[in-house]
Structure 1
Amino acid sequence: MVGSAEKTANLKTFVQWAAKHITGDEKGEAQVFLDRLFQGFGWEGFKEANAFCELRVKNTNGGTSFADLVWKPVVVIEMKKRGTDLNKHYSQAFTYWTRLVPNRPRFAILCNFDEFWIYDFETQLDTPVDKVLLKDLPTRFGPLNFMFPEDVKPIFGNHQETVTRKAADKLAACFNSLIARKVDQPLAQRFILQMLMALFSEDIGLLDKYVVTRLLDDCKTPQDTYDLLGGLFTAMNTNGVKGGRFKGVPYFNGGLFAQPAMIELTDTEKSLLRTASDFDWSKVRPEIFGTIFEHSLGKEQRHAQGAHYTSPVDIMKVVGPTIVAPWTERIETTSTLDGLKKLLARIESFTVLDPACGSGNFLYVAYRELKRLEARIYERMATEYKSVDPNQRPFGFVSAANFYGMDVNPFAVDIAKATMMLAHKLAIDELHISESALPLDNLDANFKVGDALVQADGTRTEWFETDVIVGNPPFLGSKLVKRMLGTSYVNRLRKAYPEVPGMADFCVYWFRRANDNLKPCTSADPFAGRAGLVGTQAVRSNASRLGGLDQIVASGAIIEAVENQPWSGEANVNVSIANWIKTEQATLLPKTRRLWFKVDPVKGAKAKPQAGDQNPADYELDMREVPFINSSLSDLTDVTGAKALAINATAVVGQGLTPGHSAFVLTDEERGTLMAASKKNADVIHPYMIGDDALSTGKPARWLLDFERKTIVEAQAYPVPLKRIQDQVLPDRMEKAKALPDRDEDAQGNDDGDEDEVKKGRAHHQAFLAKWWQLSYGRPKLSEAVASIPRYLACSRVTKRPIFFFVDSAIKPGDAMQVFALADDYSFGILQSDVHWQWFIAKCGKLTERPRYNGDSVFHTFPWPQAPTAAMVTAIANAGKAVRTLRAEAAEKQGIGLRALYRTLDLPGKNPLREAHEVLNAAVMKAYGFAAKKPILQQLLDLNLKVADRSAKGEPVLGPGVPSSYKNPSNLISSDCFST
């Protein structure tokens, strides 16, 4: 490893060379400057480091730009000519960084040959984490440590997340102390918010420097804090000349300070505020402060350091497509002064709503971006038209009053208002614009406290009418809504929104209401009628999709979406993001849309360095430009119109058995004890296989005590097993049946539980008690169908790719398995083919980020070949057997289970399993008569609709299993299967 002295010497040589040879011409000198920069950091040059210059990157206007240097996964560098104000080029660097996927660079650098501005967008969106002058580089290379060949953690001097967390921690601790000693909560909240504004104000120039600090130092008694701090808040609320101690304190407004908060503080509370005043509040990030602060309140053991916040880069996945992109495209393509003036007038009346605003982080980012767009209009007018005086602003300006919010949490709303009040002054400082920072906007009329969906009387809550809607509504799954919000609320909600299915996730109501509330986007006003919301993954499937995105697509188009990603905010969930336009004018829709999807991180030449106190993301997003995005947030053929096929119901298919209590599941030792009591007990003890058994060993690891449909009288014939259930299961079921709480205990994974069952809450526990000796869900119809055949087909219910296998019918399947009462090799071949896999991916449900096999949506809509010849059927059966033979040999000779074996398909190189599947796929495609060059999903959808139509007319159709025309179908039932 190169030592510090050598690093300093090498960089000093580079700086001396640059001083002698570089004039600062971006076009002519950028590449040679960058090559020598890499040499200064110990590389032979940028090519030897595997970096590239002039790399093509799609820009926000739909065209192509050229990034000066891209070095994945480390850094993207954009050069500007000497003397350039780098602040004006932040958005270009952010756009490059956003689009450079997969294996996106961790950092971005703006450089004008004299200084380096270093950005870490994953932790700090709009402000450099450090700035380094070229002349200081030999001794201040710490912020650029990631440039060295060895992976060295960079050291940043402006990592604002750390400051924000510490500042939030002190204020939250003070608030918690006030509440703990019984200070009235509204007064404590008002005091903390007024103190927050005062601390910010003395560091961003709204108050004289150190005015708050000096007041705190002068407070010797609790009475002093009441008089001096209360006096400051009173002065901030007084419009006019002030004298004495508060002479020169400007008027802030009559909203936040309408009731000056006066409290006698303890020494501990005063000390916390005094420590807080030592922070540089100009470096506290308002877009993350609110959430960190809010989530630290009232939690003594949980300080701000442990709170999660929605990262600004995630917020930009909504604000960018919904607000920034359409405005940027119009601003940059408008070619007349009159056109720019019209854009200026429109942007200053442009309004934004977040109907679940929380502490206002989405609105803050939206405000900041709109101010930058407004500044860009003024910049173009002043630089391109001599008649425009750059020092005059003839119109109004974008202010915090352009933004609206709603939330059920009153304190969060107050934090949001304070955040938006600060936004104006911070924008003035960033953009060097001549607007008055005071008085602050009074936002009391812009924010509503209360439920955004339904009122106590059952009517819909009235929303603000605005141009666009952004935000992230509550992440609450459909089966938790009643438990968390109560039966009466759910009843009011469903009555107010009958168009939303009862099994839709809670956030779907916001999607539907947002779309209904939007005025359409038109050619006369192309900026209205847009929305971007974050939702649970369920928004793109099943009832949730029907209630929200289906309607959104029907009334416009989704223009940019994130199919799936982990969320950076408080909830530990994977989310989907949809940005859409509501319009009837197809000409307003972009020709291509952007679809983002999660991929495994790409391994680069160097590992991604860590920045500051936060690790880099453990996932990657990739993006592809597509002609359309359907309501499943996919660019594949939209198969939501596929119909359930009556012929498919001839096969019994469903979820495996749900014991409902651990006492029904036996270890080998427990089974041995019961068998020692009586050999007759073998009648009710069965091998029991779960999905993990099948994918790992292919052997059942436990046993199931199952009385099946036996009555209590018949069960008496097995006294020892029955006593086990009576002692362990009966008391539990009696306890659970005592009341009817408001949740569905068995909501987890029951395919055949319907909406009515969920509405009954835990009423099913009374049914369990009535037959307490039986399994919770014994699936009698499925069990009887399986018992009538020698083996059955199954796969794991939660899987990225269904791996099908045969199981001996003597083995009881667990509820993590999807079971098909099909025993023939032909059916295996059809279901194990890529044709069925593609249908599964398009139609499956989602459990977190994992696909889940759903019998109703996948199997019962899946069309089978309608005219296969006997030779085709035999070919599919034989190809399927070949796949299973290869799998069995791998298990026997190498000890490889199905899960490990199928993971080899993700690796490059020749693979006999892949080759066997290719033979199977070819045989299945031939039986369907599908064209290889046409989308398989479209061909399957066409076939589904054709089969449904023929079936409705009473015409013969083919479904699951061996076609009736095939002679000797028993020849297609081989003997291989998982057994004991």
Structure 2
Amino acid sequence: MTDNRLLDLVDDRDFRVLFVEELGWNNPDRPDLTVEVDDETFTLQQVAGYKGLRIWHCPVLPPRKIQRQIDVLVGQDNQERLVIFTNEQRQEWRWPRRAQLGSANAKLLVHQHIVGDRSTHLTGRLQAIELDFDEDLSLVALLDKMRDAFDHEAETASVAAARLMGALYTELETCGVGEHDATLLLARLLFLLFGDDADMWKPQGLFEKYLREHTTAETLHSDLLGLFEVLDTEEKNRTLTSDSPYDPFRYINGGLFRDSLRLPPLNTGFRDALIEACEFDWSIISPAVFGSMFQTVKSKESRRRGGEHYTTEENILKTIRPLFLNEYRDKLERSWDDKAQLTKLHNELGRLRFLDPACGCGNFLVVAYRELRALELDILKRRRDLDMTDVASKKVKRAQLSLDVSGDIKVTLDHFYGIEIEEWPARIAETAMLLVDHLANQQMAVEFGVAPDRLPIVIAPKVIHGNALREDWRAVLPPSENVFILGNPPFIGERWRAKELSDELKSIWGQRMNAQFDYVTAWYKKTVDYFGETPGSWAFVSTSSIVQGEPVAPLFSYIQENGWRIKFAYKNFPWSSETLDHASVHCVIIGFTKNKVENRMLFAYTGGRSYSESYCKSINAYLIDGPEVLVTKRSKPIASGLTQLRKGSYPTDGGFLTIGPEEIDQFLEDPVTKKYVRRFVGSRELLNGQQRWCLWLKEYDPVDASRSELLRARLEGVRISRLASSKVATQKKAQTPHLFDEDRQPDTPYLAIPVHSSSARKFLPCEYFSPEVICYAANFIAPDPEGFLFGIISSSMFITWMRTVGGRIKSDLRLSNTLTYNTFPLPSVKAEEKARIIEAGRGIISTRGNYPGWSLAKMYDPSGMPEDLTEAHRTLDSEIDSLFGKGDFSTETGRQTILFHHYAKLTGQDDLL
């Protein structure tokens, strides 16, 4: 089946063959349907169907107002439908518009096809709903496929739009336009381009007509400035002649065109690029990507890549759906047949307020507004349908169809608030909100024939240009139980944070400041303080570091003390920012409430775009279905029988005491340095079998420096590097350059455990070394003459605890002796149990011997771990697991629950169980 074959059938209006024979749908199951609108009769034929979704063909093409009324009458007993209106030259396809497609733009839902057009998006939509011969999709799955086709169409258009914006920005740079003026100009042009294509004014394409007929490259800069002045002037205050090219333009208001703009003369390339942009259909672009688009075009590297990198709406929907949208969608379903409850729900929507205190270009606000307007529209449609059901008269039905409900809108722009530290994103946020409002009104027009006229702009969102950490949020929006706070505040770790930002963070947290807090935690503190005793709901996208390691307890203790509990959470998942030059990070999304919630939702990333979903009675700070305990550092192991861990030795030598593979020969050939060479093991050497050496000079004879130029040069290098340190203690160590700065080397055999290990490994690898092997501080060390500690560290229970409460670097696990090891809630161990654990550990070491030359990393590669080694670890796990009693040891989630219960008991927090 070719694309042309599909479109040939469309053009021939042979819809039954198209849908039944080519796309695999079922034969029609309904007779022809006759409806009457404004005393005119229309007959529709069902051409195909699938599980209640029926396709109807009307062989005439009435005005859209009549189409809308016909569509509603068809929907009286056929809720899911696709209605196609046609004549010999043109067709209009009215696609299903339930909640699954509620966020799509009106132009995606009412698709116009010109007979003979082979560049249409219609092919992609038809291919998306093609069914295999033996396929048995549910109706919801079919609608999801249709939605995905629309999303792909919009995303493809967004890429093209980004390229156009990139071309405009490049020309502005060539013309010497500064960044502030360029972004302000592009924001205004975006509004006009969108307005041209989205029926914001009449005639359509008014701005394009003005550009083509009344501007030149030489005068374009002054022409645009003149237009902007007119757009910011009320019609009654204008002094224009009737033949002025500015006369047809309406007053915009809203401040978008108010501020002064400095434009030098613009070149031919800019005018050509702007006219090319006019030829593009901007009305199918989601305003939620405008901010990403602007951020993309400001990067030269991004522009060279074609503007293909921007943040989709997927992660925003992950936040707003469980925060509030799912709840209100559920209420709509429960109220579906009850007009009083529908009215109550509608009024409730009108009381909601939303604040994004780090709104950037407004994506969260845009998507939240769009989805709530779609929900509101569904309420209005359902009330209309119930009214029609109650009244039998066709005359009344027709009156109801043309009812003006624009005055019934309760979800309005002035219910949405933002705070943004940079000026131009704040402006883009305001613009995007205005445009998404227009799209929502267009959807209303599709359903009811009328929509509110928003020009001049009177109702607008309130986006504050300011520093959210210094602004008084209560002055922006007073707190109430109807307020939702949401967004993606900036996250910057301590290592990368400028002093100014660190000082801001300290000013927010005061005495409760923790050195490991990420910058994003300031928004958590501000939100808790904002609500005070007032219940509400809030959710942020954050770096996953806030639920890992040391910061967890001090952050969540403050949240919990103020009565907040986790309502939903997305566990650790990869998140890439909108710009190419920003590193990918791992994030979580956490939503909070003070209200009682029976089933809290926990989502876990499973790869690609997939997540598993589970319902929990409680979700703790580590995003686990378990008691709300907080794990704090301890100076000694909580479990009896565990020896203390300490880090290996640290040279602080500027690299002069360590020896790489390319250097070792010269040190072994030198008779003086040869006697001081020792194997040096860090985490890379431990895990990957790499070779490195060091000079171990505890038995150093000062005379040897005069006998070896190599040794003398190395010691001088150490001395100079230590003197250059900013730390006084390190400077003092320059007096003894032959010694490691921190010497913790044991004089007996020891167990070495890497500080960092891949989170993908099933077990934490560790290994024994003799005291002649010097261990670096990238490993923890401990004496383990019997092998008991080896067994504990090598178990599934230990790596589960480490993965759950320990810190991370990106996704890699990080072992801490005070936070992870000392808090491991190992139950008491009897002598016979200990003996079995030691024996099982020896079995693992013995099995490793089957693979000579293999590194630990290779042996413990999760995709290729030898089965006999896996079995040896299973034997060990059975011994360790038995210490913890009953429970679900088959999954990591089950192990986590068991571990938290034991930790609560060992720390006297039984009341949380």
TM category, shorter: 0.7 to 0.9
Query: Partner of 2:813 in structure 1?
Result: 851
CA distance in 2, matches of 1:476, 1:417: 26
Query: Partner of 1:623 in structure 2?
Result: 613
CA distance in 2, matches of 1:534, 1:17: 41
Matched, 1:632 2:622: yes
CA distance in 1, matches of 2:81, 2:795: 57
Query: Partner of 1:161 in structure 2?
Result: 155
| Conservation of the 8 A alpha-carbon contact between 1:675 and 1:681 | yes
Matched, 1:30 2:50: yes
Structure 2 counterpart of 1:191, one-letter code: L
CA spacing shift, 1:347–1:87, aligned 2, 3 Å: farther
Query: Partner of 1:901 in structure 2?
Result: 859
How big is each residue's C-alpha offset from its partner over 1:431-480, in whole Å with a ceiling of 9 and x where there is no partner? 3253323225467871112221137xxx9996533611111111311221
After TM superposition, give the deviation of residue 780 of structure 1 in Å: 3.6
| Conservation of the 8 A alpha-carbon contact between 1:237 and 1:251 | yes
Matched, 1:205 2:199: yes
5 Å matches for 1:218-257? Answer: 218=213, 221=216, 224-240=219-235, 243=242, 244-257=244-257
After TM superposition, give the deviation of residue 290 of structure 1 in Å: 1.8
- For the residue of structure 2 that corresponds to 1:424, the secondary structure is helix
Query: Partner of 2:417 in structure 1?
Result: 404
- For the residue of structure 2 that corresponds to 1:856, the secondary structure is helix
CA spacing shift, 1:630–1:156, aligned 2, 3 Å: closer
Query: Partner of 2:844 in structure 1?
Result: 883
5 Å matches for 1:797-816? Answer: 797-800=756-759, 801-816=763-778
CA distance in 2, matches of 1:568, 1:592: 30
CA distance in 1, matches of 2:585, 2:112: 35
- For the residue of structure 2 that corresponds to 1:190, the secondary structure is helix
CA spacing shift, 1:363–1:621, aligned 2, 3 Å: same
CA spacing shift, 1:431–1:546, aligned 2, 3 Å: farther
After TM superposition, give the deviation of residue 492 of structure 1 in Å: 4.1
- Aligned match of 1:497 in 505, 509, 512? 509
Structure 1 counterpart of 2:28, one-letter code: I
Query: Partner of 2:566 in structure 1?
Result: 558
CA distance in 1, matches of 2:768, 2:213: 81
CA spacing shift, 1:534–1:32, aligned 2, 3 Å: closer
Structure 2 counterpart of 1:408, one-letter code: I
5 Å matches for 1:287-686? Answer: 287-297=288-298, 299=300, 302-303=303-304, 305-306=306-307, 308-334=309-335, 336-385=338-387, 391-393=403-405, 395-432=408-445, 434-439=450-455, 441=457, 446-454=462-470, 464-465=477-478, 467-481=483-497, 485=498, 487-498=499-510, 499-518=512-531, 529-554=536-561, 555-570=563-578, 571-583=582-594, 585-586=595-596, 589=597, 591-600=598-607, 618=608, 620-641=610-631, 644=634, 646-647=636-637, 651-659=643-651, 661-679=654-672, 681-683=674-676, 685-686=677-678
Q: Which runs of 5+ in 1 are unaligned?
A: 35-77, 96-118, 523-528, 601-617, 738-762, 951-980
- Aligned match of 1:911 in 859, 867, 874? 867
Query: Partner of 1:794 in structure 2?
Result: 753
Query: Partner of 1:725 in structure 2?
Result: 714
Structure 1 counterpart of 2:199, one-letter code: G
CA distance in 2, matches of 1:690, 1:643: 25
- For the residue of structure 1 that corresponds to 2:822, the secondary structure is helix
CA spacing shift, 1:203–1:852, aligned 2, 3 Å: same
| Conservation of the 8 A alpha-carbon contact between 2:752 and 2:779 | no
Which moves more between the two structures, 472-481 or 495-504?
495-504
CA spacing shift, 1:568–1:149, aligned 2, 3 Å: farther
- For the residue of structure 2 that corresponds to 1:858, the secondary structure is helix
Work out the percentage of aligned pairs sharing the same amino acid.
Answer: 20
Query: Partner of 1:743 in structure 2?
Result: none
CA spacing shift, 1:186–1:301, aligned 2, 3 Å: closer
- For the residue of structure 1 that corresponds to 2:757, the secondary structure is coil
TM-score normalized by the length of structure 1: 0.72
| Conservation of the 8 A alpha-carbon contact between 2:99 and 2:375 | no
| Conservation of the 8 A alpha-carbon contact between 2:678 and 2:695 | yes
How big is each residue's C-alpha offset from its partner over 1:236-270, in whole Å with a ceiling of 9 and x where there is no partner? 22222563222332221141122464744222322
CA spacing shift, 1:332–1:548, aligned 2, 3 Å: farther
Structure 1 counterpart of 2:525, one-letter code: R
- For the residue of structure 2 that corresponds to 1:356, the secondary structure is coil
5 Å matches for 1:812-851? Answer: 812-851=774-813
Query: Partner of 1:977 in structure 2?
Result: none
Query: Partner of 1:15 in structure 2?
Result: 21
After TM superposition, give the deviation of residue 703 of structure 1 in Å: 0.8
Structure 2 counterpart of 1:898, one-letter code: L
Which moves more between the two structures, 295-304 or 238-247?
295-304
Structure 1 counterpart of 2:870, one-letter code: R
5 Å matches for 1:15-94? Answer: 15=21, 21-23=27-29, 30=50, 80-81=80-81, 83=83, 89=97, 91-92=99-100
- For the residue of structure 1 that corresponds to 2:605, the secondary structure is strand
How big is each residue's C-alpha offset from its partner over 1:860-880, in whole Å with a ceiling of 9 and x where there is no partner? 1124443412x2222211111
How big is each residue's C-alpha offset from its partner over 1:250-300, in whole Å with a ceiling of 9 and x where there is no partner? 221141122464744222322222222221111333211222213422648
| Conservation of the 8 A alpha-carbon contact between 2:633 and 2:818 | no
Query: Partner of 2:138 in structure 1?
Result: none
CA distance in 2, matches of 1:634, 1:402: 34
The alignment covers a number of residue pairs equal to 799
- For the residue of structure 2 that corresponds to 1:308, the secondary structure is coil
CA spacing shift, 1:149–1:256, aligned 2, 3 Å: same
CA distance in 1, matches of 2:698, 2:904: 39
Query: Partner of 1:109 in structure 2?
Result: none
Structure 2 counterpart of 1:91, one-letter code: A
How big is each residue's C-alpha offset from its partner over 1:897-953, in whole Å with a ceiling of 9 and x where there is no partner? 43333346888xx93333322322232344x36235696556555655665679xxx
Which moves more between the two structures, 842-851 or 329-338?
329-338
5 Å matches for 1:738-753? Answer: none
Structure 2 counterpart of 1:919, one-letter code: T
CA spacing shift, 1:463–1:859, aligned 2, 3 Å: farther
After TM superposition, give the deviation of residue 362 of structure 1 in Å: 1.1
After TM superposition, give the deviation of residue 359 of structure 1 in Å: 1.0
CA spacing shift, 1:835–1:222, aligned 2, 3 Å: closer
CA spacing shift, 1:936–1:228, aligned 2, 3 Å: closer
After TM superposition, give the deviation of residue 372 of structure 1 in Å: 0.9
| Conservation of the 8 A alpha-carbon contact between 2:649 and 2:740 | yes
After TM superposition, give the deviation of residue 185 of structure 1 in Å: 5.2
| Conservation of the 8 A alpha-carbon contact between 1:293 and 1:304 | no
Structure 2 counterpart of 1:673, one-letter code: Q
CA distance in 1, matches of 2:522, 2:869: 46
| Conservation of the 8 A alpha-carbon contact between 2:81 and 2:95 | no
Matched, 1:924 2:883: no
CA spacing shift, 1:18–1:158, aligned 2, 3 Å: closer
Structure 1 counterpart of 2:835, one-letter code: T
Query: Partner of 2:90 in structure 1?
Result: none
CA spacing shift, 1:639–1:493, aligned 2, 3 Å: closer
Structure 2 counterpart of 1:230, one-letter code: L
After TM superposition, give the deviation of residue 859 of structure 1 in Å: 0.7
Structure 1 counterpart of 2:810, one-letter code: T
CA spacing shift, 1:422–1:6, aligned 2, 3 Å: closer
CA distance in 2, matches of 1:777, 1:402: 66
After TM superposition, give the deviation of residue 846 of structure 1 in Å: 1.8
CA distance in 2, matches of 1:530, 1:328: 17
| Conservation of the 8 A alpha-carbon contact between 2:210 and 2:245 | no
